[in-house]
């Protein structure tokens, strides 16, 4: 994991997550890149949608 990356709760991280990356799932996968314009609400909704 790098600076400014976010990993969802219960993730199993098996690969490097780039700076500013949002990851979720088991195994963890990158969902999207986080920018300064993103709101926490958008990030939360994206992390819930990434779980299967």
Q: In angstroms, rounded to a whole number, what is the distance separating the alpha carbons of residues 36 and 12?
A: 26
Strand partners, 24: 29
Half-sphere exposure of 43 (CA within 13 A, CB side): 18
pLDDT at 49: 65
Take residue 1 and report the two structure tokens written for it: 């994991």
Take residue 16 and report the two structure tokens written for it: 């490097």
pLDDT at 52: 47
For the chain, what is the radius of gyration of the CA atoms?
10
Q: What is the pLDDT along the chain (52 residues), one digit of tens a residue?
A: 777 788 888 888 888 888 888 898 898 888 888 777 666 667 677 666 655 4
pTM above 0.85, yes or no: no
pLDDT at 2: 72
CB atoms within 10 A of CB 3: 7
């Amino acid at each position: 994991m790098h600076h400014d990356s976010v990993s969802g709760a219960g993730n199993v991280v098996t690969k490097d997550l780039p700076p500013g990356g949002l990851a979720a799932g088991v195994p963890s996968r990158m969902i999207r890149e986080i920018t300064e314009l993103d709101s926490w609400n958008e990030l939360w909704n994206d992390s819930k949608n990434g779980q299967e």
